[in-house]
Amino acid sequence: MKITRTWNRDNIAQIETLFHTANGYLGVRNAPEEGHVPGSIRGAYINAFHEIVDIHHGEKLYGFPETKQTIANVPDAQTVRLVLNGRAYSMLSDETVDREQTVDTETGLAVRSSVWMHPDGALRVTYTRMASFEIPNLFLLRLRVESVDYDGEIAIESTVNGDVTNYADADDPRVAAEPLRCLSLVSSCVEEDEAMVVCRTLRSGLTVACRAMQGCSLPGSWEGEGALLCGRYEGRLHPGECVKLNKLVVYTDSLRCEDPAEESRRVMREARTLGGYELMRRQKKYLDGWQERTMPRLAAPQPLPEALEYDLYQLLQSTGSDGVGSVAAKGLSGEGYEGHVFWDSEVYVFPYFLWTQPEKARGMLEYRWRLLPAARENARTLGMQKGALFPWRTISGGECSAFFPAGTAQYHIDADIAYAFLQYWRVTGDLAFMAEKGAEVLVETARMWLELGHMQDGEFRIDCVTGPDEYTCCVNNNFYTNAAAQYNLRGAAAVMRALHGADLAERVLAATGVTAEEEAAFEAAADAMRLPRDARLGISPQDDSFLQKKPLDWKALPRTDFPLLLHYHPLFLYRHQICKQADTVLAHLLFPETAEKDTQKKSYDYYDAVTTHDSSLSVCVFATQAARLGDLARAAQGFEATATLDLMDTHGNTRDGLHTASLGGTYLAMLRGFAGIRAEDGGLSVDPVLPEGWDGYELPFEYKGSRLLLQVRGGEARLSLREGDPVDAVVRGEKCRIC
């Protein structure tokens, strides 16, 4: 499927995000090839490659983080300037017409084309980009200049530039406040038709090598020194003729190899041996397999099918699975939230990979397991003698949140991560992974809850926490937090029972020292967990004090005041009944056993009236839960808003990067909402529904090594086995065997 947009002076940064090229390891924004232009946010990023910067506190108290990690803009190799008879091509020039930008989700190619009405004749200028899935270190860029009736001189300048800085916006807390120079030059060189710069971050001490090779139909060579190397090619172009430049760029880093410079040389040899056309052929083959294995087919009015495919393609581009990186809040498309990994990765993005590419989901879990030592240290900083507390936002394991009420106090991050590990176990049945890594995380997060909570009047209480709703901070017994902690505690005990029964507990016992008494304490705390219900309203209270607060008539506020966090002091928001995003509704969706169906319905209506959806993590949850509650009209409306959030830029900040949680929410709505697919202790259950106006859908997924296909048409639903062993499932309440 091709997604097409017309670019102009006003949407440059937005187009850079929407049509960026990435592969989970490397991401390159779709910036103008001619160099920096007004409105551009130029950047290239490597997953988890970061710099360390100071956090400046006006009043610093004990335990506040002193530094944070931020994603580093790596050397820029996307500049390929075109000059005709001394006149430079510019995408912003009035001489440039028929501007079009496309991305093809079947080939993985992003193409920018235009016609340049040069004073000496017309030409078609086409730039093609690709981030290779076959060789994740590789970025490919091609320029094709085809003369219609131009006859004259042509020059092409192609550069590698190690002198780059990070973007900043002092007025937006979702972006770094100050411009940041992360890299210093280590070395640069020209080796025949290849050029390379090697840079090192100033404080984190990470090294990146950027090596470029290019072939051009014009004569020329590399030149320059220092951080800027330039390949210059000159000649003449006649009517009907075409000039081409093919550029291969390899990025390597010290997080993943000992000698990035030498590794870049090896990878470049591999890429050159294959050649550009073979690389593009393999890219298409890879994406053909991805489409067949993972892509839902939606028979519904546009733009839904287009938006669904675009969103899932972007999830594929955004997510690392090598255990070194995972998925940041903006993926690899921009510097919003400084490249930090939040709970979004486990709750919103993880389900897509879990149910379609479990090997990639496992890589995401390995990333969290690698950060477990830092999470243990973080727990000690917060006064806990045992357990581990994962940071609210991080890249390499340290807490990067400088505002603890809406950051570190969101202890539910531990349960969110545990939820992903438990879901992986229940969907894949991979007990060996739980023995090797997963159970260690589950035990340490469960211990954290025992330290954080306490028994009072026969209930296990968790006080002074912040739930998902960041307009309500530091409260007692947040419903979502308690429900998620309960799931974490019970799950840890269940996995340990399974490991003991399979004689696989030795490694976990050695790594954690967990005792039978602790395992029993996990279950006791879960059984006593406080999960209140308000009898008067018939709802689950968001926390112990939320319903006693003064309501805020937020719908009467001017639209220019949204999102509220940019226009109102936090304390104003905290003292009102106002929600930034789904909180209790999310608890009911993920943990439906915590409330009766009637309570869920009444809670949904209550919180829908007080939720602004200022967060992109919100509408998808309400849409998914609406489908489960049978309100299909509201579900379909929320699904469309979720699926098109970035394509339509409805939050007004796509320029800073994609909203990966919302991208994942599109799939979550399909999987959990409309298809009703779940896996818990009772096994696989499927309960599909179909909104009015949709003809049907198909959803491929995997369960315990078998590949299945759910087909829904009209009122009929069919679950079939595509590959693997027969599967027992409950389909619309009926037990059946799929074979």
Question: What pLDDT sits at residue 226?
Answer: 96
Cis status, amide bond into 303, omega within 30 of 0: yes
Place of tokens 């004749």: 121
**Are the CB atoms for 692 and 686 separated by under 8 Å?**
no
What pLDDT, in 10s, does the model give residues 680-689? 998 999 999 9
Q: What percent of the chain has pLDDT over 90?
A: 96
Q: How confident is the model at residue 179 (pLDDT cuts 50, 70, 90)?
A: confident
Q: Can you spell out the DSSP letters for 622-689?
A: HHHHHHHHT-HHHHHHHHHHHHTTTTTTTTS-GGG---HHHHHHHHHIIIIIIS--EEETTEEEE---
Going from N- to C-terminal start, the domains of the chain cover 2-272
> 3-state DSSP call for residue 572?
helix
Alpha helices (H) in 502-559, listed in sequence order: 506-512, 516-527
- For residue 429, give Cα distances in angstroms to 146, 423, 488: 56, 9, 17
Residue 171 has pLDDT above 80, yes or no: no
Task: Tell me which residue of 658, 656, 676 sits closest to 668, measured CA to CA.
Answer: 676
Dist. CA 63–CA 33, nearest whole Å: 45
| H-helix or E-strand spanning residue 519 | helix 516-527
Task: Tell me the average pLDDT across 334-363.
Answer: 97
**Are the CB atoms for 430 and 362 separated by under 8 Å?**
yes
- Residues annotated as catalytic are 470
What pLDDT, in 10s, does the model give residues 505-546? 999 999 999 999 999 999 999 999 999 999 999 999 999 999
Question: What pLDDT sits at residue 170?
Answer: 62
Phi/psi region, residue 522 (left: phi>0; alpha: psi -120 to 50; beta: rest), is alpha
Residue 173 has pLDDT above 80, yes or no: no
> 3-state DSSP call for residue 460?
strand
Inter-axis angle of helices 412-428 and 439-452, nearest 10: 150
**Are the CB atoms for 245 and 215 separated by under 8 Å?**
yes
Residue 174 has pLDDT above 70, yes or no: no
Min mean pLDDT across 54-58, 450-454, 676-680 is at 54-58
Q: How confident is the model at residue 168 (pLDDT cuts 50, 70, 90)?
A: confident
**Cβ atoms < 10 Å from Cβ of 695:** 12
The terminus-to-terminus CA distance of the chain in angstroms comes to: 32
Dist. CA 486–CA 592, nearest whole Å: 13
CB-based contacts of 526: which residues, under 8 Å, 6+ apart? 460, 485, 486, 489, 490, 493
Question: What pLDDT sits at residue 735?
Answer: 96
| H-helix or E-strand spanning residue 70 | strand 67-71
Please, what CATH class does the domain formed by 2-272 belong to? mainly beta
Q: How confident is the model at residue 566 (pLDDT cuts 50, 70, 90)?
A: very high
Residue 176 has pLDDT above 70, yes or no: no
Q: Can you spell out the DSSP letters for 462-478?
A: --SB--S-TTS-SBS--
Residue 373, exposed/middle/buried by CB under 10 A (0-12, 13-18, 19+)?
exposed
**Cβ atoms < 10 Å from Cβ of 383:** 10
Min mean pLDDT across 40-49, 55-64, 114-123, 235-244 is at 55-64
**Are the CB atoms for 428 and 496 separated by under 8 Å?**
no
Question: What pLDDT sits at residue 326?
Answer: 98
What pLDDT, in 10s, does the model give residues 593-637? 999 999 999 999 999 999 999 999 999 999 999 999 999 999 999
Residue 10 or residue 135, greater confidence = 135
Nearest 5°: the CA angle 561, 567, 570 is 130
Phi, psi of 133, rounded to the nearest 5 degrees? -80, -25
Write down the pTM of the prediction: 0.97
The tokens for 708 are: 């299945």
What pLDDT, in 10s, does the model give residues 361-418? 999 999 999 999 999 999 999 999 999 999 999 999 999 999 999 999 999 999 999 9
Task: Tell me the average pLDDT across 644-673.
Answer: 97
Q: How confident is the model at residue 8 (pLDDT cuts 50, 70, 90)?
A: confident
Dist. CA 571–CA 485, nearest whole Å: 27
Task: Tell me the average pLDDT across 246-258.
Answer: 98
Residue 7 has pLDDT above 90, yes or no: no
Task: Tell me which residue of 541, 603, 542, 546 sits closest to 575, measured CA to CA.
Answer: 546
Alpha helices (H) in 429-470, listed in sequence order: 431-433, 439-452
Task: Tell me the average pLDDT across 58-75.
Answer: 95
Question: What pLDDT sits at residue 686?
Answer: 98
Nearest 5°: the CA angle 192, 196, 202 is 160
Q: How confident is the model at residue 360 (pLDDT cuts 50, 70, 90)?
A: very high
